[in-house]
Amino acid sequence: MDHGRHARTGAPSVPRRVVGALWWAAFVLVLAWLQVTFVHQAFAVPSGSMEGTIMTGDRVYAEKVSYLFRDPEPGDIVTFQDPEIPGRVLIKRCIAVGGQTVDLVDGRVVVDGVALDEPYTRGLPSEPLKTALGVEVSYPYTVPAGHLWVMGDNRTNSNDSRYFGAVARSSVTARGVAVIWPLEDAALIG
């Protein structure tokens, strides 16, 4: 009886099954690496600088695709490389972009002469901070081209651009989209 040209003669050998399993494991790892590198990532938030919007210990889902097609905009919650500690990622709100002028007047943030409506700060004042060693920030401050002015929503507990100056656009890694853990706090952010 002819079962066709490709009739199986039995189960694959053990070495062939092991090689197949290793190939699939490598494929899944490469796919996961590609997703984390180019598409999305979850971040654990270690500090209270964004409290009110993101609480200490929350897990935040951040996507990387939109910034392939557009630059960060004021209001976006962005993740970026810490200007002081290599390899550490911070999360803050973009307040202004290159060419815009930021001022702090009577506890309010003023961009290009207009006081911002910032309900996410829960009324906390936005005051100048003592800057990091070697950083000079004086107000009004014009954000250099290719840079962002970022601030934490918890203005009284955030080392941000008031402390380390504007951050390079090239240091931005993703856009915060949602709190995904704990489940009872899950919500879109922005």
Active site residues: 49, 92
Q: Which of 120, 188, 127 is nearest to 157 (CA)?
A: 127
How many Å apart are CA 15 and CA 2, to the nearest integer?
29
**Exposure class string for 71-80: b at 16+ Cβ within 10 A, else e:** ebeeebbbbb
Residue 78 token pair: 């962005």
Token look-up 């899944």 returns 28
Name the DSSP letter for residue 153: S
Strands 114-115 and 108-111: antiparallel
